């Protein structure tokens, strides 16, 4: 089931006087409720923590809310490390899961006391040379042909991430030699996966590796990081992932592999992004033009600059028309942005109520990998982000970009004068 948009036509009328469309709106109450449900489902896990994947919704206001609900931050770049800091997330509450990492980012992660999760065996030496080798180290495992992939993330065998199975053993052996005393093991093999068994199997795969690391190297793994990738329903009628079933399935594997092999307690953590905020964000946009050629087009004031997923992956995002929720969907439209790119479409041949210029369209489930993926192609400016507080008030948590922002790196007159 999809979440209902939390505001009425009248409220949006009021809001758009001060905050013109398009904008993303996030619902604090629902985000908190979901976070609590998430933690409750996995409460049996020793030391359970979700390191929220910052890239999904990189805004310190959101990170602060999630921190209050017990989450850490999963960062992959310098900017994301800074975002975590701004939200007051510190030390081992930060997981640094990067790839193709520049030295200065390892230095920063190391200065912050973050958990460094290495993407390659060659990064052991790279890290040692730039930041010194830490006492706590984690590695990202890529199971290759041993695990099937899914649509968004692709086949592990073709993925650029992580260490192979053989390299994993070698990596821990070398780390021990270099003085590491605490060890983590990570994988991330799925994206937007709704199948519970897939996530249970991922846990089993890591538990088996924990057992084997103990047997072959005498190594005690302190935590496994099951990654993110828990799916959300983007279509009405699609079922939510059953967290209790995932949890029970993982618990059975934990008892069978970890407890039975005397490896309890093993900390279990995750790095979900989408599941945490995705369903609780909406892109609010206004119909600017209706165009009727070979198909009917509703041109809106948002574009791929505000939400890339449909254009980039052909992803489905549900669309409703504010105030027309109860009307029959008997008109077929392509809902488009203004980019000179024919994939700048939020929906293709979508049945909607008859649209008029000025209608407010609500594009659902944009709370993760939405605003964050925005770009400035065609000179488009990224929108504002608004937060609906628990008390019903509205907070602007990011202003819309202006032309000055666009030209901030392009002071043409100044550059020309200096260089010619
Ligand atoms: C993208 C990513 C995540 C979060 O993925 P979701 O699908 O948003 O849960 C977690 N960990 C890593 C390493 C990632 O790249």
Percent of the chain with pLDDT over 90: 95
Q: Calculate how far, in angstroms, residue 199's C-alpha sits from the geometric centre of ligand 1.
A: 14
CA dist 137 and 45 (Å) reads 21
CB atoms within 10 A of CB 284: 25
Rounded to whole angstroms, the Cα distance separating 370 from 372 reads 5
Query: Is the shortest distance between the CB of 190 and ligand 1 below 6 Å?
Result: no
The 10s digit of each residue's pLDDT in 220-253 is 999 999 999 999 999 999 999 999 999 999 999 9
Q: Is the CB of 140 under 6 A from ligand 1?
A: no
Residue 279 DSSP symbol: G
Q: What is the pLDDT of residues 65-82, one digit of tens each?
A: 999 999 999 999 999 999
> Cα(278)–Cα(56) distance, rounded to whole angstroms?
8
Considering 130, 329, 338, 340, which one is annotated as catalytic?
340
- Cβ–ligand 1 distance for 272 under 6 Å, the answer yes
Residue 156 is predicted with a pLDDT of 83
226 lines ligand 1 (CB under 6 A): no
CA proximity to 191, closest of 272, 305, 86? 272
**How much is the pLDDT for 159?**
86
Question: What b/e string do you get for 209-248 counting C-beta neighbours within 10 Å, with b at 16 or more?
Answer: bbbebeeeeebebbbbbbbbbbbbbbeeeeeebebeebbe
| Minimum-distance ligand 1 atom for the alpha carbon of 140 | 13
Q: What is the pLDDT of residue 20?
A: 98
Mean pLDDT on 8-29:
97
Question: How far is residue 91's CA from residue 80's CA, in Å, rounded to a whole number?
Answer: 14
Cis peptide before 22 (omega within 30 of 0): yes
Q: Do the beta carbons of residue 95 and residue 139 sit within 8 Å?
A: no
Q: Which fold has domain 28-277?
A: TIM Barrel (3.20.20)
State the pLDDT at residue 148: 65
Q: Is the pLDDT of residue 154 over 90?
A: no
Give domain 279-407's CATH number out of 3.40.50.920, 3.30.1330.200, 2.40.37.10, 3.40.50.300.
2.40.37.10
Q: Region 258-269: what's the mean pLDDT?
A: 98
| Residue among 271, 275, 365, 367 whose CB has most ligand 1 atoms within 8 A, to mutate | 271
State mean pLDDT over 157-161: 88
Angle CA 340–344–349, to nearest 5? 125
pLDDT at 42: 98
pLDDT at 155 over 90: no
What pLDDT was estimated at residue 238?
A: 95
**How many other β-carbons are positioned within 10 Å of the β-carbon of residue 418?**
8
* Nearest atom within ligand 1 for CA of residue 369: 8
Instruction: Summarize pLDDT for 308-326 with one digit per residue, the tens.
Output: 999 999 999 999 999 999 9
56 lines ligand 1 (CB under 6 A): yes
This prediction's pTM:
0.96
- Does ligand 1 come within 6 angstroms of the Cβ of 228? yes
Q: Domain segments of the chain: what residues?
A: 28-277, 279-407
Distance from the alpha carbon of residue 17 to the mean position of ligand 1, in angstroms: 36
Regarding the beta carbon of 271 and ligand 1, being less than 6 Å apart is answered yes
- Show Cβ contacts of residue 257 under 8 Å, excluding neighbours closer than 6 positions: 204, 207, 208, 210, 211, 263
> H-type helices in 186-287, by residue range?
196-217, 243-253, 274-277
| Cα 167 to ligand 1 centroid, rounded to whole Å | 23
The CA distance from 363 to 371, in Å, is 12
Q: State in Å: Cα 180 to ligand 1 middle.
A: 26
Q: Could you give the percent of the chain with pLDDT greater than 70?
A: 98
Count of residues in the chain: 420
- Residue 308 to residue 226: CA distance in whole angstroms: 27
Residue 130 bears catalytic tag: no
DSSP class of residue 163 equals B
Task: Count CA within 13 A, CB hemisphere, residue 59.
Answer: 26
Average pLDDT score, the chain = 96
Task: Reply yes or no on whether the pLDDT at 150 is more than 70.
Answer: no
Q: What is the mean pLDDT of residues 81-101?
A: 98
């Amino acid at each position: 089931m999809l979440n209902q948009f939390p505001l009425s036509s009248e409220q949006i009328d009021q809001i758009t006087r001060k905050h013109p469309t398009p904008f993303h709106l996030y619902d604090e109450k629902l985000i908190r409720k979901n976070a609590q449900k998430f933690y409750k489902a996995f409460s049996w896990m020793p030391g359970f923590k979700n390191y929220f994947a910052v890239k999904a919704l990189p805004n310190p206001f959101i990170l602060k809310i999630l921190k209050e609900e017990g989450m850490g931050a999963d960062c992959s770049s310098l900017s994301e490390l800074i975002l975590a800091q701004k939200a007051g997330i510190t030390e081992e509450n930060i997981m640094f899961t990067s790839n193709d990492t520049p030295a200065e980012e390892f230095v920063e992660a190391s200065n912050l006391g973050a958990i460094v999760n290495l993407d390659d065996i060659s990064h052991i030496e790279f890290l040692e040379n730039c930041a010194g080798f830490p006492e706590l180290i984690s590695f990202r495992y890529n199971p290759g042909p041993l695990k099937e992939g899914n649509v968004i993330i692709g086949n592990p065998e073709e993925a650029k991430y992580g260490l192979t199975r053989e390299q994993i053993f070698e990596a821990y052996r070398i780390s021990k030699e270099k003085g590491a005393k605490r060890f983590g093991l990570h994988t991330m093999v799925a994206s937007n996966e709704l199948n519970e068994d897939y996530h249970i199997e991922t846990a089993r795969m890591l538990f088996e590796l924990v057992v084997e690391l103990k047997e072959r190297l005498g190594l005690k793994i302190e935590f496994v990081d099951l990654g993110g990738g828990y799916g959300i329903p983007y279509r009405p009628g699609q079922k939510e992932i059953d967290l209790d079933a995932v949890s029970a399935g993982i618990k059975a594997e934990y008892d069978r592999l970890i407890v039975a092999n005397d490896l309890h307690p093993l900390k279990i953590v995750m790095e979900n992004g989408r599941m945490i905020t995705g369903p609780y964000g909406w892109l609010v946009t206004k119909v600017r033009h209706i165009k009727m050629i070979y198909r009917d087009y509703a041109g809106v004031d948002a574009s791929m600059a505000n939400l890339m997923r449909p254009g980039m992956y052909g992803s489905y995002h549900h669309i409703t028309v504010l105030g027309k929720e109860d009307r029959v969907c008997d008109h077929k439209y392509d809902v488009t942005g203004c980019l000179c790119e024919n994939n700048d479409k939020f929906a293709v041949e979508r049945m909607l109520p008859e649209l008029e210029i000025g209608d407010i369209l609500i594009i659902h489930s944009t709370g993760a990998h939405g605003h964050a993926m925005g770009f400035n192609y065609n000179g488009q400016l990224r929108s504002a982000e608004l937060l609906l507080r628990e008390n019903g008030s509205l907070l602007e948590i990011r202003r819309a970009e202006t032309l000055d922002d666009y030209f901030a790196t392009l002071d043409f007159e100044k550059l020309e004068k200096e260089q010619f």
